[in-house]
Amino acid sequence: MTQTITVIRGDGIGPEIMEAALFVLDAMNAGLQYEEADAGMVALEKHGELLPQSTLDSIRRNRIALKSPLTTPVGEGFSSINVELRKRFDLYANVRPAKSFPNTKSRFPSGVDLITVRENTEGAYIGEGQSLSEDGETAMLTQKITRRGSERIVRYAFELARKTGRKKITVVHKANILKSTSGLFLRTARVVAAEYPDIQCNEMIVDNTCMQLVMRPEQFDIIVTTNLFGDIISDLCAGLVGGLGLAPGANIGTEAAIFEAVHGSAPDIAGKGLANPCALLLAVGQMLDHIGQPENATRLRNAIVATLEAKDSVTPDLGGEGNTMSFARAIASRL
């Protein structure tokens, strides 16, 4: 059975890392067909729009997209194409694994293996109620938390724990200060947690969470939290395990799911073959899990780990002398 996925090559280093990722994916014979669609600067040049309707239609049709980083030029309608995509498809769950890999610049050479599940549509990101007084002295922002939004993200985290055999959920909040918004999130989380007696659940205030992550990251398994806290925490976690070149993310909704590298388009190294393709490849792993190919996902992750262990053809950001494609070939040869 073949499945078609939407492929967005993106901007900057996007096309290079996508070529590498598709090379490895092809070597796996995962039975996937690619439908190319444009977004970002490439789309603006070709179609006069950052996010053409044909791209939205493709994602809606295929329900699965693999996406490289996109550049959103200032003053082109939206503040971020990525945020716009999340809104259009109600991609409410942002799932970001952080795992220690061998031979990386990690603070913790082993022992970090956690997933941040970030609510992706509410909180401080609703884009409403932002104002600046006429004299420029006072700025306001509205945050919105709903019971429905909180329930579905917490449920997603618990279901993810069951599916992946993880044992513990940490609900991260600031309900002591943000009594209304974070309070509703926390109370809703407690109700959902009661339905999953097989999964351990604890609560942690966000500031303490940051300290605990730096001191004893191994105590965490799955973190579930609201939009802004999740944004910050997931980058902190990427830092714990050696940086952006190894950080994948999935944006999951009921109508579609988009898999991506967490890093940006890195124009400073674009076109030079220096980009590390691992983050996008790890996102491919998340995609394979999501579409019901967990064996292939594991095969891919094992090949990545083995390549890092051997330091075979790894890119300069990992201290190697390889390039994007030689790294990809080394991974493909270990599948």
Residues with catalytic roles: 125, 174, 207, 231
Please identify which residue in 15, 52, 109, 264 interacts with ligand ATP, judged by CB under 6 A: 264
**Three-state secondary structure along the chain?**
CCEEEEEECCCCCHHHHHHHHHHHHHHHCCCEEEEECCCCHHHHHHHCCCCCHHHHHHHHHHCEEEECCCCCCCCCCCCCHHHHHHHHCCCCEEEEEEECCCCCCCCCCCCCEEEEEEECCCECCCCCCCEECCCCCCEECCCECCHHHHHHHHHHHHHHHHHHCCCEEEEEECCCCCCCHHHHHHHHHHHHHCCCCCCEEEEEEHHHHHHHHHHCHHHCCEEEECHHHHHHHHHHHHHHCCCHHHCEEEEECCCCEEEEECCCCCHHHCCCCCCCCHHHHHHHHHHHHHCCCHHHHHHHHHHHHHHHHHCCCCCHHHCCCCCHHHHHHHHHCCC
Please identify which residue in 161, 186, 279, 300 interacts with ligand ATP, judged by CB under 6 A: 279
| Least gap, CB of 114 to ligand ATP (angstroms) | 21
Segment lying near ligand ATP (by CB under 6 A), choices 31-39, 52-60, 210-218, 264-272: 264-272
The CA-atom distances, in angstroms, between 42 and each of 29, 37, 240 are 29, 10, 33
Q: Residue 263 binds which entry of ligand ATP, Mg ion, none, with Cβ cut-offs from 5 to 8 Å by kind?
A: ligand ATP
| Least gap, CB of 226 to ligand ATP (angstroms) | 23
Segment lying near ligand ATP (by CB under 6 A), choices 170-178, 265-273, 285-293, 302-310: 265-273
User: Judged by CB, which is closer to ligand ATP: 16, or 122?
Assistant: 16
Q: Residue 5 binds which entry of ligand ATP, Mg ion, none, with Cβ cut-offs from 5 to 8 Å by kind?
A: none
- Do the bridges between strand 222-225 and strand 168-173 make them parallel or antiparallel, or are there none, so unpaired? parallel
Query: Which residues would be at the binding site for Mg ion (CB under 5 A)?
Result: 264
User: Judged by CB, which is closer to ligand ATP: 294, or 316?
Assistant: 316
| Least gap, CB of 77 to ligand ATP (angstroms) | 17
257 binds ligand ATP (CB under 6 A): no
Segment lying near ligand ATP (by CB under 6 A), choices 75-83, 100-108, 230-238, 263-271: 263-271
74 binds ligand ATP (CB under 6 A): no
| Least gap, CB of 316 to ligand ATP (angstroms) | 8
> Could you say which residues in the range 11-70 bind ligand ATP, by CB under 6 A?
69
- Residue in the shown chain whose Cβ atom is closest to ligand ATP: 264
Please identify which residue in 155, 263, 301, 329 interacts with ligand ATP, judged by CB under 6 A: 263
Question: Which residues make up the interface to ligand ATP (CB under 6 A)?
Answer: 69, 71, 244-245, 263-269, 275-276, 279, 317
